[in-house]
Amino acid sequence: MFGGETVPAAEKLVSIFETHTDIIIKDNRETQFGHKLCLTSCASGLVTDAVVEQGNPADSTLAVKMMERHQQLFGKAPRQACFDGGFASRSNLAEIKELGVKDVAFSKRCRLEIEDMVSSRQVYRQLRAFRAGVEGTISFLKRVAGLGRCLWRGFASFKGYVQASVLACNLLVAARHVLAARG
């Protein structure tokens, strides 16, 4: 920043060692550096998809994209889906429902009626509770599977590190399910 010149965030170099690093700004929280990660999880606790985004796209631009990706991976839309509040918008709700998702819940309603999102208030509460449980999966990925800090160099390696962390998480979750079934 020489001579008071302003530079768009996408053009700023924030690390001379990891030039792919992005500036991540969320709400009024402290600015972070790295990459935005979109995770998809199922009821068993397994992470079914992980996408590393470049730049700092708004969450509201990613909801439909993630549901379309789910359809590509699994051949159909999920019956139910829940999202963080940043993904909430009337257009996202309409587009996701058009994809065939029966119940769609956003953790913050943002002027959306519960009846428009889901079939009942009980379903809405259950999906919000599931969404809260996904936070536990994210914490597990950070604390146990090493996702808190990537030590590999380059963007392709960063994406590989994320996939390796997800694999480690899923193996541990699957092992726990097997041990629980053996009782």
N- to C-terminal Cα separation, the chain: 61
pTM assigned to the model: 0.78
Q: Which residues form the domain of 47?
A: 9-141
Would 169 be classed as within a structural domain?
no
Would 90 be classed as within a structural domain?
yes
pLDDT number for residue 151: 78
Q: How many domains does the chain have?
A: 1
Tell me the C-alpha distance between 26 and 145, whole Å. Answer: 24
pLDDT number for residue 116: 94
Question: If we measure between CA atoms, which residue out of 96, 59, 66, 62 comes closest to residue 80?
Answer: 96
pLDDT number for residue 120: 95
Would 161 be classed as within a structural domain?
no
Would 34 be classed as within a structural domain?
yes
Would 160 be classed as within a structural domain?
no
Would 129 be classed as within a structural domain?
yes
pLDDT number for residue 13: 59
Mean pLDDT by 10 residues, the chain (183 residues): 64 60 67 78 94 84 95 96 92 96 90 93 95 91 87 84 95 94 88
pLDDT number for residue 54: 82
Would 163 be classed as within a structural domain?
no
Q: Taking the CA atoms of the chain, what radius of gyration do you get in angstroms? A: 18
Residue type at 147 in one-letter notation: L
